[in-house]
Amino acid sequence: MANGLYIDFEFCSGCHSCEIACRNELELGITDFGMKVLEDKPRQNPDGSWHWDYIAYPTELCNLCEDRVAAGGIPACVQHCQAKVLYYGTIEELTAQMLEKGSKGAIFIP
Amino acid sequence: MIDMNKVASDVLAATPKTGPTNATAWKTQDGDETIFRTCAWSPPGCHPVGCGLRVHVKDGVVTKIEGDPEHPITRGSLCPRCLALKEYIYHPDRIIHPMKRAKEFRGQADKWEECSWDEATTLVANAAIEIREKFGPETIIVFGGTGREANNWYPQWANLVFGTPNSVYAQPGWSCYGPRMTNTAFMMGGGYPEIDYASKFPLRYDDPRFTPPELILLWGKEPLRSNPDGLYGHAIIEMMRRFGTKIICVDPRVTWIGTRAEEVLQLRPGTDTALAMAFIYVLAHDDLVDHEFIDAWTYGYDALVQRVSEMPPSRAAEICGLDEEQIWRAARLFGNAKPSSVAWGLATDESTNGAQLGMCLVALMSITGFLDAPGGTTLGMGDDQGNVVRDGGSISADEKVDDATDSTLELALKHGMMSEDTWFNKRIGVDKYPCVGSVMWTCQPDEMLKALETGKPFKLHMAQFVSSNPISCIGGEPQRWWNALRELDFNFACDLFMNPVIQACCDVFLPVSSTIEHDGQVVTHYGLNSSFYGAENKCVQVGDCKSDIEIMRMVGKKIFPEFWNRFDTDEDYNNFHVFRSWLPWDTLRDNVVTMSDEEYFKYKTGRLRPDGNPGFPTMTGRLELYSYAYANFQEDALPYFEDPAYGPVSMPKMMESEYPFVLTTGARRQEFFHSEHKQVPSLRQISPYPEVDINPADATRLGIEEGDWVEIWSPYGKCRQKAKVTPTIKEGVVHAVHAFWFPEQEASEPNLFGAFKSNINNLMPTSVNAKSGFGNTFKSMICNIKKVYDNDDVNFPTDTGIMLEASRQCEFTYQETWRPTDAPVVDPIPQDQILSFEKTPEIDNIVK
Ligand code: SF4
Ligand code: SF4
Ligand code: SF4
């Protein structure tokens, strides 16, 4: 079963920790990203409630931290995520977790 | 799949009460790498959050910095600043050897020369000895910045090394933490109130004593970005996800967490006290209070209710620009939540009506019955690291009186560095503002600026900057500080990078080690409300850099050897300067993290009062909703609303004509700690430019588009930032970031790294304080804003020219009439200067 990353983006604060943690892990240059935080800018919905989402997604440079995982660890982005909204696992496990929450979730295969 | 929460709770379940015995040792070997576990504080700038690091070192060089999964609070996470720490400590611009420069070359970047530590510290000590003898020790001043580890040391530099009472926190009105400390000390003691996130227990959320807050009221606070004073902000997200904790935000901006809140009360800046009074009105009206608590433990509830009867939600709605219904709804939501918790933010401090706001917020924390209760707002035991002058009320129960736990002041008096006359009569501004003098250990900053300019009550001669950059960061009217400070006889700094104030004013630069280059201790809230005691463990040496403590010891030995010779090592000093844990330094180091494990309800168990009796350390022994301490300082004993000094009510004519916007500043960005981190590529990449938030309707009207450079000006001065057009800011209000300078630009005067181009404090007055001497206008100023074009204009932030308009304080003396103070300051304003410039590449280049 393939592995991936699940993000509960209802609670991704857009803090950029995952981006830098990934860059450190993959030893990337300053303009390269294995993980990138995107923003859907704030706006007010017709009912007056607010929309403002961040979502972190892995790029083609992401190798799901194969070295760390092989050594028994967890991916750098997952570990450092301040909101603890990133999860690593098999797609099956992640899907179950996402469905259990039922909203604002996404699973990525880099 | 690996669940980090599970990993963490497994680790924690195995962690005994004081110091985990089966945790990984603080130092382990993995092949040719040594891995250090340590807790971070500063430098670089941060509050005492003490996040857990694992630092990998090979051949004395850091190879990798990661979060520490065994740290009970952060559990492996880190914010971007520690993740970029390697870029910071090995940055090519970092200064790693002591330097000196002849006084006549101040402001010239190419005139610095490297020198030895002995020469540098001798220069400092000799200057201080000479100035002490010739002019008196009080003519030496020591600047400290906010929140950093050096916060512990700058009063000690002042009192114990130079024997001067004049340490300076240069922000007008001491507008950070001081006012909230005062509210706490005057009304209830207990260190500093903080939201409960099970931060004191080894088992954290799984501790059976803990109950999660049902609702957190975030008042003028954005903890996710700032981790203020040691509150680990993202714990709020953990509690929202895990326990369904609800949020109410009171903020003129809708923050990201505000979009996840039940209510956002987007009030007119500076009107918070009216809203807080209305909240109390609703709680009393609906009887959503805990009468048992109120009757047993508080004083003055009826008087408070009487007072807030003046402020029904209908009136507050009008003052704050809110919907009356929303105030009722939000206050009821708060009043019905069990338990409820209150996080009071910096906005409390940065206003001239802030003491009264603080009084209301202390009431909201307590009359619900959830003060120091599980899931409520916790209190601490007031360990203050020896710096707080001890007549402010925050004395803790088991304070010892032997030498090692004397306050800094007591030591200075006892060992002869400072006389009582010097302390009581030469500390600038505390005669005028005794309220500030009673709780804070420094001078009153606005009065210090006047003293620097006028030579009254006496002329100042020497300044030290301990991780403080008053002309790019906290100083209001920064040109005035710059102009005054460059005239002193001798100035020096302890820091890591060159910055505008050092370039402009200093003669000696002493390079400081970062948090992973020295041994130290970190305690949340500076010990005022301790979640844990963390060890900062030295992992590497960079250049010749030394810790703040070692530098202080070196200079101290050259001035007061009898006192300073007793410390041979930093460890001696750390042992001397113990925290409430009372653990010897090496035990703290071995534990890495020692949880405080403090109990709830300390007012019931006698843990708040010096005599060990139940109750609060106040005049009545109760929590004083009616404050005798404020009354003692000629303030109203009860909260009242006063409109901000600048705004549509106080100055309608000016707002109708030249200054139609309300300006608020100071919102935090996680990638920068105030003026720091601007040279770190991974961080500057996130925010390359200073940004001002403006509502789309206002932007359209003024022809401003996202990313345009705009000029913002007030009666005091102007600066330039980039427009960020966003509906999260109310129409008619703008928010501008603070403390932006450009380390990549020309360092020499007059450009000084572009210190004045984007500095929003060019627009901020000094001396517009509350009666107490606290508070200022950072959250409620007036301004105007317009689009500007980059036509090779030297004033452009991307150019190396200079944006320097004289501060207009001289011609604009509103603060003298709004709340009369003494003689207006005259004279030392530089002329407008436009010098030659060279076009530099866009800032983007530094992040490539
Ligand atoms: S799993 Fe590893 S490689 Fe992939 S984004 Fe996360 S940190 Fe980067
Ligand atoms: S670290 Fe977590 S919270 Fe922060 S941006 Fe990445 S996914 Fe979002
Ligand atoms: S909050 Fe402070 S200690 Fe924690 S990771 Fe960020 S910079 Fe480091």
Q: What ipTM, to 2 d.p.?
A: 0.98
Rounded to the nearest angstrom, the gap between the alpha carbon of residue B260 and the centroid of all alpha carbons in its chain is 26
Atom of ligand 2 nearest to the CA of A84: 2
End-to-end, the C-alpha distance of chain A in Å comes to 14
For residue range B155-188, what is the model confidence (pLDDT) as tens digits?
A: 999 999 999 999 999 999 999 998 999 999 999 9
Task: Pick B607 or A67 by higher pLDDT.
Answer: A67
Q: What is the average pLDDT across B290-302? A: 97
Q: Per-residue pLDDT for B242 more than 70?
A: yes
Confidence of residue B792 (pLDDT cuts 50, 70, 90): low
Which structure tokens are listed for B527?
């010990």
Atom of ligand 2 nearest to the CA of B234: 3
Confidence of residue B414 (pLDDT cuts 50, 70, 90): confident
> Which residue in the set B76, B237, B848 is minimally distant from A30, CB to CB?
B848
Rounded CA-CA distance B443/B164 in Å is: 10
Rounded to the nearest angstrom, the gap between the alpha carbon of residue B512 and the centroid of all alpha carbons in its chain is 20
CB pair distance less than 8 Å for B77 and A8:
no
Contacts of B86 in chain A (CB under 8 A): 24
**Residue B77 Cα to ligand 2 middle (Å):** 10
Q: Per-residue pLDDT for B681 more than 50?
A: yes
For residue range B196-233, what is the model confidence (pLDDT) as tens digits?
A: 999 999 999 999 999 999 999 999 999 999 899 999 99
Confidence of residue B810 (pLDDT cuts 50, 70, 90): very low
Rounded CA-CA distance B387/B384 in Å is: 6
Q: Which residues line ligand 3 (CB under 6 A)?
A: B 40, 46, 49, 51, 78-79, 81-82, 227
Among the bound ligands, the one closest to the CA of B48: 3
Q: Per-residue pLDDT for B519 more than 90?
A: yes
Q: What is the average pLDDT across B524-546? A: 94
Given CB atoms, is B27 within the 8 Å cutoff of chain A? no
User: If you count residue pairs, one on A and one on B, with CB atoms under 8 Å apart, how many are there?
Assistant: 115
Going by alpha carbons, the residue nearest to atom 4 of ligand 2 is A15
CB pair distance less than 8 Å for A79 and B64:
no
B652-816 to CATH, choices 2.40.40.20, 2.40.128.50, 2.40.10.10, 3.20.20.140: 2.40.40.20
For residue range B357-389, what is the model confidence (pLDDT) as tens digits?
A: 999 999 999 999 999 999 999 998 765 444 333
Helix (H), strand (E), coil (C) string for B781-808: EEEEEEECCCCCCCCCCCECCCCCCCCC
Q: Which residue of A has its CA nearest to B847?
A: A30
- The three-class DSSP label of residue B465 is strand
pLDDT score for B383:
52
pLDDT score for B750:
85
Q: How far is A82 from chain B (nearest CA, A)?
A: 5
- The three-class DSSP label of residue A57 is strand
Rounded to the nearest angstrom, the gap between the alpha carbon of residue B579 and the centroid of all alpha carbons in its chain is 20
Q: Per-residue pLDDT for B801 more than 50?
A: no
Regarding beta strands B520-523 and B508-511, do their DSSP bridges make them parallel or antiparallel, or are they unpaired? unpaired
pLDDT score for B566:
85
Atom of ligand 2 nearest to the CA of A77: 1
Q: Return the closest-CA partner of residue B737 out of B661, B662, B667.
A: B667
Q: Per-residue pLDDT for B835 more than 70?
A: no
Alpha helix (H) residue ranges in B664-777: 681-684, 696-702
Going by alpha carbons, the residue nearest to atom 1 of ligand 1 is A64
Q: Return the closest-CA partner of residue B521 out of B452, B451, B594.
A: B594
Q: Per-residue pLDDT for B826 more than 90?
A: no
Burial of B204-219, coded b for 16+ CB within 10 Å and e otherwise, reads: bbeeeebbbbbbbbbb
Q: Return the closest-CA partner of residue B429 out of B107, B767, B725.
A: B767
* Overall number of domains in chain A: 1
Contacts of B259 in chain A (CB under 8 A): 42, 50-52
Q: B118: buried, middle or exposed (CB in 10 Å: 19+, 13-18, 0-12)?
A: exposed
Task: Pick B508 or B147 by higher pLDDT.
Answer: B508
Q: Which residue of A has its CA nearest to B65?
A: A24
Contacts of B5 in chain A (CB under 8 A): 84
Given CB atoms, is B64 within the 8 Å cutoff of chain A? yes
Q: Which residues contact B78 (CB under 8 A, 6 or more apart)?
A: A17, A21, A80, A82, B51, B53, B66, B67
Rounded CA-CA distance B223/B257 in Å is: 9
**What are A's interface residues with B at a Cβ cutoff of 8 A?**
8, 10-11, 13-17, 19-21, 23-24, 30-31, 41-44, 50-52, 54, 74, 76, 78-85, 87-90, 93-94, 97
Task: Pick B717 or B245 by higher pLDDT.
Answer: B245
Q: What is the largest CA-CA distance in chain A?
A: 50
Confidence of residue B570 (pLDDT cuts 50, 70, 90): confident
Rounded CA-CA distance B175/B270 in Å is: 14
Among the bound ligands, the one closest to the CA of A35: 1
**Contact call for residues B26 and B589 (beta carbons, < 8 A):** yes
Q: Return the closest-CA partner of residue B222 out of A14, A79, A81, A56.
A: A14
- The reported pTM is 0.93
Among the bound ligands, the one closest to the CA of B83: 3
For residue range B46-93, what is the model confidence (pLDDT) as tens digits?
A: 999 999 999 999 999 999 999 999 999 999 999 999 999 999 999 999
- The three-class DSSP label of residue B645 is coil
**Domain containing A29: what range?**
3-108
pLDDT score for B573:
79
CB pair distance less than 8 Å for A15 and B79:
yes
For residue range B394-413, what is the model confidence (pLDDT) as tens digits?
A: 333 233 334 445 678 888 99
Q: What is the largest CA-CA distance in chain B?
A: 72
Q: Per-residue pLDDT for B803 more than 90?
A: no
For residue range B91-125, what is the model confidence (pLDDT) as tens digits?
A: 999 999 999 999 999 999 999 999 999 999 999 99
Domain boundaries, chain B: 193-378, 652-816
Ligand 2 in reach of A91 Cβ (< 6 A): no
Regarding beta strands B520-523 and B532-536, do their DSSP bridges make them parallel or antiparallel, or are they unpaired? antiparallel
Task: Pick B774 or B654 by higher pLDDT.
Answer: B774
Given CB atoms, is B329 within the 8 Å cutoff of chain A? no
Share of residues in chain B with pLDDT > 70 (%)? 87
Atom of ligand 2 nearest to the CA of B77: 1
CB pair distance less than 8 Å for B847 and A30:
yes
Q: Per-residue pLDDT for B823 more than 70?
A: no
Q: Per-residue pLDDT for B839 more than 50?
A: no
Contacts of A31 in chain B (CB under 8 A): 847-848
Fold of B193-378: Dimethylsulfoxide Reductase; domain 2 (3.40.228)
Ligand 2 in reach of A16 Cβ (< 6 A): yes
- DSSP sequence for B130-154: HHHHHH-GGGEEEEE-SSSTHHHHH
Confidence of residue A54 (pLDDT cuts 50, 70, 90): very high
Q: Per-residue pLDDT for B819 more than 80?
A: no
Measured N-to-C along each axis, helices B272-285 and B324-336 cross at an angle, to the nearest 10 degrees, of 60
- Average pLDDT along chain B: 88
CATH, residue A17: 3.30.70.20
Q: Count each helix (H run) and each strand (E run) in chain A, helices first.
A: 4, 5
Least confident of B203-217, B289-303, B378-392, B501-515: B378-392
Element (H, E) at B249: strand B246-250
Rounded CA-CA distance B382/B393 in Å is: 9
Matching residue, tokens 């800011």: B729
φ/ψ of B43, rounded to 5, equals -70, 165
Task: Pick B803 or B697 by higher pLDDT.
Answer: B697
pLDDT score for B582:
63
